[in-house]
Structure 1
Amino acid sequence: MAKISFYLFEKSPERRVQSTCRLCRKISKQHAKIWIYCADVDTQQQLDDLLWEFDPSSFLAHGIDQDTAPICISARLPNASEWIVFNFNNQALEQVAQFSHIIEIVENDELAKQLGREKYKTYRRLGFTPQTFKL
C-alpha cells in the first residue's frame, strides 16, 4: 500500500521548493528515485535552479522531464511505481496506489493550508491514512 506523508509548516516561513530540496537530499541518500510532479513551468525552473545550488558540498542529480535522472521534475506523472512522488499540484493524486510514497508539503499560509486540508480529505476518502509531520 502506498504511503502518504504531509509535511506541515506551522511556524516556519520556509518555501515549498526549499523544503523539497532538503527532503530530496535526505531521500536521495537512500538511493530512492524521486519524481517532482509539477505542472507550473516557473516552479519547475525554481526547483531546477535550487537543486543545482542547494547543497554546495554535494550535487543532487536531476533533470526536467528526464526520467532516467534520480530526481525528475515533470508536469506528467511517472509510469513506474518505484518513484517517490512530491505532489506540487493543487489536487490530491487519485492514482495513489501507483506509487510507493506520495509527499505533500504544506506551506505556512492560509491558501496552502486550505489546499492541504482538501488533499488530506481526498486521500482519506480513497481509503488511505496519511502521516502528518509538523515542522
Structure 2
Amino acid sequence: MTEILFYILKESAESRPAFACRLAEQLWKKGKKVLIHTENAAQSTVIDQLLWDFRADSFVPHQVLEASEIPPVQQVFISHLDSPPPQLMDVLINLNPKQPLFFSQFEKLAEIIDADPSVKQHGRLRYKFYQERGYPIETYNQ
C-alpha cells in the first residue's frame, strides 16, 4: 500500500516547487525513481528550470514527459499528464491540487502543503481522501 507523506511548509519557508526539487534531489541521490506531478505545462516548465539551477552546487538529471513518450533510463521525471508514467517509479511528488489517479502505483506519495489558503484547502481534501481509504499517512513540519 502506498505510504502518504505530507510535508507542511511554514509561511516563510521556501516555495513548494523549490522544496519539491530539494526532495527530488535527496531521493535521486538514494537511487529512487521520482515523478514530480504538476498542475499544468507551465508548472512543469518551472520545475524543469528549477532542477537545473535551484542550487549552485547541484544538478539533478531529469526529463519532462510528454504524451505517449517512452522515457530513457532516467531517475527524475516531470509531468502534468493525468496518465501513469510508462515505467515503474518509486516516489510521486504531487504539486497538483488533486490526487493523481495513479498514485497507488508508487511506494510513496509526497504531498507538499504551504500557507496558501487554496493549497491548504486542497491538501485537507486529499488528506481526508487518503485517510478514509486507510492509507498510512505521515506528516512532517518543515
TM-score, normalised to structure 1's length?
0.89
Deviations 1:10-36, CA, capped at 9 Å, x for gaps: 343421100011111111110100101
Runs of 4+ in 1 over 6 A off after TM superposition: none
Q: Look up the equivalent residue of 1:46 and give its one-letter code.
A: V
Q: Which residue of 1 aligns with 2:118?
A: 111
* Superposed counterparts of 1:1-135, under 5 Å: 1-65=1-65, 67-68=71-72, 69-76=74-81, 77-135=84-142
Structure 2: give runs of 5+ residues left out of the alignment. none
Q: Look up the equivalent residue of 2:95 and give its one-letter code.
A: F
CA distance change for structure 1 residues 49 and 91 in 2, over 3 Å: closer, same or farther? same
Identity %: 30
CA distance change for structure 1 residues 25 and 54 in 2, over 3 Å: closer, same or farther? same
Structure 1: give runs of 5+ residues left out of the alignment. none
CA RMSD of the aligned region, Å? 1.7
Q: After alignment, is 114-123 or 56-65 more displaced?
A: 56-65
Q: Look up the equivalent residue of 1:97 and give its one-letter code.
A: S
8 Å CA contact retained: 1:17, 1:47: yes
Partner Cα separation in structure 2 for residue 23 and residue 96 of structure 1: 17
8 Å CA contact retained: 1:36, 1:73: yes
